[in-house]
Amino acid sequence: MAFAIKTEIRNPRAKVFTFTAQKTMYGGKHIAADDVVFVFASENEGGSGLIARAIVASADATPRKIGVIRQTPRVSITVRRTASAARLLGRDQLKRFKDWGDGRPETELNFKFYRQATNKIAGISDETAAFLDRFF
């Protein structure tokens, strides 16, 4: 399974990124070392969308807080860039894909990242990973 992360990126040209206690959804809590992850710089924090393909160097689950009943699983990861995006892909390019049942990779990304605009790590389908590979 491949993954994608949308979060604040302070240095979009970095070769290594460390993301601490990131919210996970859609299977994102299963991310592990050696998984492929597509990195999106969150437009909510001034980013431009897809910036990199990377390999997970380490992934560690964040311990749950004692006494809090409903908690979204969080994971801290370190990833190494393997490629930089050659074409733009972000909220503006994906917002027209709103037919949630059409099975398109663009719709999956719009649904997982922009329907609820919080930053997160999400599992993505093989079809969506192949689609994203075309941007490098």
For 134, residues 6+ apart whose C-beta sits below 8 A from its C-beta are: none
Helix (H) or strand (E) holding 61: strand 49-61
pTM listed for this prediction: 0.94
Q: Specify the residue for token string 């398109």.
A: 104
pLDDT in tens, 55-80: 999 999 998 888 888 888 999 999 99
- As a CATH number, domain 2-131 is 3.10.590
pLDDT of 135: 98
List the alpha helices (DSSP H) in the chain: 91-94, 105-109, 126-133
Query: Where in the chain are the domains?
Result: 2-131
pLDDT in tens, 87-98: 999 999 999 999
